[in-house]
Amino acid sequence: MKKAKQLMDSVYWVGARDINNRHFHGELYPIDEGCTYNAYLIVDDQVTLIDTVEEEFSQDCIERIQSVLGDRPVDNIIMQHAEPDHSGGLLEIKAIYPNAKIYASVGGVRNIKAQFPIDFEIQALKTKDTLNTGKYNFVFVEMQMIHWPDNMLTYCPELKTVFSNDAFGQHIVNYQLTDENLDKGFCLDQAKEYFANIVLPYTAQVKAKLNFIKSLNIEIETIMPAHGIIWKQYVPDILAAYEDYANLTPSNKVVIVYQTVWKHTQQMAEALAEGFGDAGMDVKIYPLSTTKSSIIFKEIVDAKLICVGSGTYNNDISYSVGAFLTHLRAAKLKGKKGLGFGAFGWFPKVPSQIDQALTDAGLENVHDAISHVFSPKATDLENYYNIAQEIAKEL
């Protein structure tokens, strides 16, 4: 039988671990060590469950709840988000606790009703609405587009705890559940990767909501997200990091991604990388077809410049580069610069097509697209090295 893990006075983790998951949100987000679906049980005069789990793990969640409550019922279920990895267990849990009241944001009510054949009422919540369960009060804050229109978070002042839903999440599967005894750099790096692959298109909303939360002057000692570890030791660090992520605060970094046919585009990429590196920039260079997109987008968050190269495939951009450019456009980046490059045999337009795609993705072209016919000579590669040096000085 699965058992709950007590996190603090009256608060228990009753979620699930999906240790076999290697793709989160379909193909969008490749992950390395599985993921967690975090659900939290707060025992008071009334018992409150915050979020559920993916449907296939419903029984895990139910067993953990019953390990704490026995035959005592759940009184309230707060659904902070209607996406299936959060709401999938709702119907099975509601069937066991038919008298439990369900709460969600206005958008959450709509989306839950659209997903499930429900015959029970859901009470809609707005920002600053509250729920009292005895000695605990829960304050709700709508978090539209972080990362769905229905997201919200829940704050308990007595516990000084934020139940943050997708915000501050990551994919760390740790059986101790908290960030204690974990390396801070590792935790923040995983949170950055999650932000880059799930939340990145919504930086404006993140900034606005962080400012709103600051204006409430609330004390936060613990952050309990819907995925990954619980923040206790590094709460100030993750809050500061999210401000940097949301502002796309740049470091002196260039990310170079490419796909090559006969290594000619690769040679160009390496010459550019040498030039940027010798000019003092931090260089990240990745062949697209063999690199996880989650790693690349994590590095893009704080990059100044994104260089994209492709060989020519049937008079077109390579398939992996085309997919990357589509993903980049969806990320809605602001304040970054771009450069297209590539080699060709008889069709010279691919680098300029990449430049246009970068412009369409919101990036400012830093230099004319670099296009090379067939194999670059040593003098050509030296020229590309020098171009990188000039761009680095301008940046």
What number of residues does the chain have?
Answer: 395
Number of domain units in the chain = 2
Q: Is the separation of the CB atoms in 381 and 271 below 8 Å? A: yes
Residues 211 and 139 in one domain: yes
Q: Which domain holds residue 211?
A: 5-246
Residues 235 and 374 in one domain: no
Residues 148 and 168 in one domain: yes
- Residue among 224, 207, 217 at smallest CA distance from 154: 224
Residues 26 and 164 in one domain: yes
Report the pLDDT value the prediction gives residue 331, as an integer from 0 to 100: 96
Report the pLDDT value the prediction gives residue 349, as an integer from 0 to 100: 95
CATH of the domain at 42: 3.60.15.10
Q: Which of 219, 246, 273 is where one domain is finished?
A: 246
- Residue among 332, 326, 333, 352 at smallest CA distance from 341: 352
| Amino acid of residue 52 | T
Residues 48 and 97 in one domain: yes
Tokens of 147: 């990362």
Q: Which of 246, 278, 312 is where one domain is finished?
A: 246
Q: Is the dihedral of CA 126, 128, 129, 132 positive or negative?
A: positive
Q: Is 120 helix (H, G, I), strand (E, B) or coil?
A: coil
Return the number of other C-beta atoms located less than 10 Å from residue 23's C-beta.
Answer: 12
Q: Which of 246, 274, 307 is where one domain is finished?
A: 246
Residues 266 and 204 in one domain: no
- Residue among 137, 143, 133, 151 at smallest CA distance from 45: 133
Residues 288 and 208 in one domain: no
Report the pLDDT value the prediction gives residue 347, as an integer from 0 to 100: 94
Catalytic residues: 25, 81, 83, 85, 147, 166, 194, 227
Q: Is the separation of the CB atoms in 362 and 369 below 8 Å? A: no
What's the gap between Cα 317 and its chain centre?
Answer: 27
Phi and psi based region of residue 160 (left: phi greater than 0; alpha: psi -120 to 50; beta: remaining): left
Q: How far apart are the first and last CA of the chain?
A: 58
Residues 259 and 231 in one domain: no
Report the pLDDT value the prediction gives residue 177, as an integer from 0 to 100: 98
φ, ψ of residue 143 in degrees (nearest 5): -130, 55
Residues 211 and 336 in one domain: no
Report the pLDDT value the prediction gives residue 244, as an integer from 0 to 100: 95
Residues 276 and 372 in one domain: yes
Residues 234 and 265 in one domain: no
CATH of the domain at 336: 3.40.50.360
Task: Write out the chain's pLDDT in tens, 395 residues.
Answer: 899 999 999 999 999 999 998 888 877 799 999 999 999 999 999 999 999 999 999 999 999 999 999 999 999 999 999 999 999 999 999 999 999 999 999 999 999 999 999 999 999 999 999 999 999 999 999 999 998 899 999 999 999 999 999 999 999 999 999 999 999 999 999 999 999 999 999 999 999 999 999 999 999 999 999 999 999 999 999 999 999 999 999 999 999 999 999 999 999 999 999 999 999 999 999 999 999 999 999 999 999 999 999 999 999 999 999 999 999 999 999 999 999 999 999 999 999 999 999 999 999 999 999 999 999 999 999 999 999 999 999 99
Report the pLDDT value the prediction gives residue 333, as an integer from 0 to 100: 95
Report the pLDDT value the prediction gives residue 276, as an integer from 0 to 100: 98
CA 139-201-55 angle, 5° bins: 60
Residues 264 and 242 in one domain: no
